[in-house]
Amino acid sequence: MLSMSFRRAAMLLVAAVWTAPLAAQPAAEAPRALSLEDALQLAARRAPSVELARAGLLRARGQEDQARSQFLPQLSGSVSYQRLLANTFDGLTRRFPGPPDTTSGDDGGGGAGGLGPIGLVFASPNTMILGLTGSQTLFAGGQLRANRNAAIASRTAADLGVTSAKAQLALDVTQAYYDAVLADKLLTIAESTYVQTERTFRQVSLTRQVGTASEFSLIQARVARDNQRPQYLSARTQRDVAAVRLRQLLRLPLDAPLALTTDVEQAVPAVRSAAANQPISLTPTALVVDADALLDADAAVARHVDSLVAGADTVVRSRAAVRQASLNVRAQEALLRAQRGQRWPSLALTGNYQRSAYPQRELFNAYGGFFPRSIGDFFAQSSVSLGIQFPIFTGGRITGQIRSAEAGLIEARERLNQTEDAAALENRLAIAELEQAEAAWAASVGTAEQATRGYQIAEVRFKEGISTPLELADSRVQLQQARANRATSARNVAVARMKLALLRDLPLGAVNGASAGAAGANAGDAGAAQGGGSFGGGTGGAGGGQRAGAGGTAVTSTTGGQPGQPELD
């Protein structure tokens, strides 16, 4: 009995030791819920681009302080001590002693006493001077004012640079966030399509076993399923890449689990027509296209775009880049005036106040022997001077500086003209991109529902044996294309609206780069869907960032898949 109890206790101990490491393992970290507003706030606190712009603003403020200080008096103090190791005057008095000074009680004629009070100045081994110097520029040919104006213009331009950096960051985060959401949706679409092809293949295999399906139909079903597998893997990889890009912008660990809670389709409200106050789309039951309804839809989209444009600042001279270029012209004009001011005389008032002491004791014969005993040992001396300075011959230096400043002004003016042209073009591109996105979004409403209904009908027809696998495959491609187009259109509308809202403060190139990225993404989606469901797409152009279809393995979206989609057994 005792041995059995001991054996049972040993088994319990072994079981406890075996299961202890498993129990000690930490639970998986729950995904962090992240909305678009949270992402924007998080990025604003950790953005290196904004910090760099703020550093430039701090530097510009320092330069402005330096330029402003030239208008104020310049005051400096000094303290100096001098110890003479060999003194000519002391040697002269020792070699040629004078008559004794009876007034001071000195019975000898050597040393400093032989020279009287003058010996304190020339023969003293120790000299301490307390000095205070001040100066004030009265006239400098306009150089001080010109330098200050140039510094003010540079500081204002740096302030606009901070605003532009914040706007660019907001656009980048918005685009990266919606890219990650879109990538998750495209992955869901590719996964659903893969499930559909697998289900079709199983059905064809079953009918082939009973002899009602041909070998050609079985081969078609197998090829369709196998072709969808790489597309699904590509969509998953691009989802991972998009999430990594988002984490980098937010300065988060690259493996941090996130749950994106802002649905891009819900974040973009549908444009409604004025006639029936209904979404601009064909309902799933509508089978006839009404030309008047389409015209009404186009008019409603145009009115909606006009309202968005009216609420945004699209004036060319209001763009941050144009204002910075204009401030640069102003700074170059001020610098040119400053260089020309060098040809004028400069007038300055200078004052100097000193108190000097000449301790007579030796350096180390007593504590502090080289220091004066009191303030009475110091003798005051002050002076005021008014000086004028003007260039007579500088070897062409001033002329060269003026020519360099003139060249800088010409370049600044030409850059301003180029910036205005580029800003006008970008404004038009932003509005055109918004119009295209709004029109595509309006046209996509209801299309996915119709394609879903069409695929369901095609699947029933295929099960009943009254249609071919080719018809079913065509319906599947149309469904995949419609769902991808709707998700992509929603993303493009959200980004285009944000871009228009931030257009006034965005730097040049943000609109063109993002437009190129969106165009590459749309082309990749369209070609992939028509070719069998590849939602890889391309990569965005400069400033556009990675196209949608990137995200981390730990990134999930609350949008989920389409309802009613079958899953693999």
- The pairing of beta strand 126-139 with beta strand 346-357: antiparallel
Convert 544-567 to b/e letters by CB count within 10 Å (16 or more is b): bbbbbbbbbebbbbebebeeeeee
pLDDT at 371: 66
- Would you give the distance in Å from CA 114 to the centre of its chain? 78
> What is the dotted CATH code of the domain comprising 151-329+406-557?
1.20.1600.10
CB 358 within 8 A of CB 398: no
Residues whose CB falls within 8 Å of the CB of residue 182, separated by 6 or more in sequence, listed in order: 242, 264, 487, 488, 490, 491, 548, 549
pLDDT at 60: 95
| Rounded Cα distance, 112 and 117, in Å | 8
pLDDT at 521: 46
Per residue in 80-125, pLDDT (tens digit) is 988 878 777 767 767 776 665 555 444 444 444 455 666 667 767 7
pLDDT at 440: 87
Segment (H or E) for 80:
strand 74-83
| Rounded Cα distance, 557 and 23, in Å | 30
Task: Specify the residue for token string 């249609």.
Answer: 467
CB 262 within 8 A of CB 35: yes
User: 439, 352, 484: which is closest to 74 by C-alpha?
Assistant: 352
- The pairing of beta strand 556-557 with beta strand 258-260: parallel
CB 528 within 8 A of CB 446: no
- Angle between the 48-69 and 143-209 helix axes, to the nearest 10 degrees? 180
Residue ranges of E strands in 307-454: 346-357, 379-389
Mind listing the pLDDT tens digit of every residue in the chain (569 residues)?
A: 445 454 555 455 444 444 444 444 445 578 888 899 999 998 888 789 999 999 999 999 999 999 999 999 999 999 998 887 877 776 776 777 666 555 544 444 444 445 566 666 776 778 888 999 999 999 999 999 999 999 999 999 999 999 999 999 999 999 999 999 999 989 988 888 888 888 888 888 888 887 777 888 788 888 888 888 898 899 999 999 999 999 999 988 888 888 898 888 877 765 554 433 444 443 333 334 444 555 666 777 788 888 888 888 889 999 999 999 999 999 999 999 999 999 999 999 999 999 888 776 554 444 445 567 777 778 888 999 999 999 999 899 999 999 999 999 999 999 999 999 999 999 999 999 999 998 888 888 778 788 888 888 888 887 877 777 778 888 888 888 888 888 898 899 999 999 999 999 999 887 665 554 444 444 444 344 334 333 333 333 333 443 333 333 344 444 443 333 333 33
| Rounded Cα distance, 206 and 521, in Å | 39
Q: What is the residue extent of each domain of the chain?
A: 90-123, 151-329+406-557
Count of Cβ atoms closer than 10 Å to residue 366 Cβ: 9
Answer whether 0.85 is exceeded by the pTM. Answer: no
| Rounded Cα distance, 75 and 395, in Å | 33
